[in-house]
Amino acid sequence: MRGRIFAVQLLALAFAAHAAAGTLSVSVVDGNGHAMRDGVVSLIPNEESRMPAATTLLPVAKIIDQRNEMFVPLVTIVPVGGAVVFSNSDRTMHHVYSFATIRQFEFVLNSGEKSAAVRFDHAGIAAVGCNIHDQMITYVYVTQSPWTALTGADGIAHFDLPVGAYRTSLWHPDLAPGREVPATSVVIGNAATAVTLTLPRLPARAHASAHPGSY
């Protein structure tokens, strides 16, 4: 009986440790303090053995549409092992391609067609374009961390996390080449935590106005 009680106590302690969690808000701003949407914030625990597979929290299937000769959304997050279907809602044909080292592919989509699922088995970033319309570009961010999120129009990414210490990483399509990627360390307790990351960015691109936020 004593052994059974001890086992139950251990189970309760383990459950309590797993349930203990806090919230984190990461604000991403440019050098002028303006909020930056479409930033990818990822968190890695200092004890990486504690990190579950990205597929445990992130959807494994996403859709990237083509509307008004633009890819929508601009940035898509998928876990390692996840897949993307490309849909053509335009009246014109698109020739979708990527030369990314993590995944290379190309195919033609006529109006109203959808592609077969494109699977991503390696972490990294795949830039995707259209061979017919040079202004079209989208990015697939493939992550190993289940705690990866995109900043919204307010420039903020929100997380619910187990207590512990984490390292942050940040990527954005407008990250200036050769500049250090902003990063920081954060300790999550049972209370709400907030941090701000400042990102050195390129000048605004012509296609940015074509992604007003109706993703």
Q: Give residue 65's pLDDT.
A: 98
| Residue 43 maps to a domain | yes
Q: Do 56 and 46 fall into the same domain?
A: no
pLDDT at 91 over 80: yes
CB 199 within 8 Å of CB 28: yes
Q: Which domain holds residue 154?
A: 20-51+149-207
Query: Among 109, 127, 144, where does a domain finish?
Result: 144
pTM across the whole model: 0.84
CB 155 within 8 Å of CB 27: yes
Q: pLDDT (tens digit, 9 = 90+) per residue, 108-143? A: 999 999 999 999 999 999 999 999 999 999 999 999
2: Cβ contacts below 8 Å, ≥ 6 apart:
none
Tell me the CATH number at 47.
2.60.40.10
| Residue 4 maps to a domain | no
Q: Do 58 and 47 fall into the same domain?
A: no
Q: Do 140 and 56 fall into the same domain?
A: yes
Q: Residue 71: CA atoms inside 13 Å, Cβ hemisphere, count?
A: 28
Rounded Cα distance between 102 and 99, Å, is: 9
In the chain, how many domains are there?
2
Q: Do 36 and 111 fall into the same domain?
A: no
Tell me the CATH number at 68.
2.60.40.420
CB 95 within 8 Å of CB 131: yes
Q: Give residue 151's pLDDT.
A: 98
- Strand, helix or coil at 71? strand
Complete DSSP assignment for 103-133? EEEEEEE-TT-BPPPEE--S-EEEEEEESS-
Q: Do 117 and 64 fall into the same domain?
A: yes
| Residue 178 maps to a domain | yes
How sure is the predictor about 31, in pLDDT bands with cuts at 50, 70 and 90?
Answer: confident
The mean per-residue pLDDT over the stretch 63-77 comes to 97
In this structure, of 19-28, 149-158, 162-171, 186-195, the range with the lowest mean pLDDT score is 19-28
Q: Do 86 and 127 fall into the same domain?
A: yes
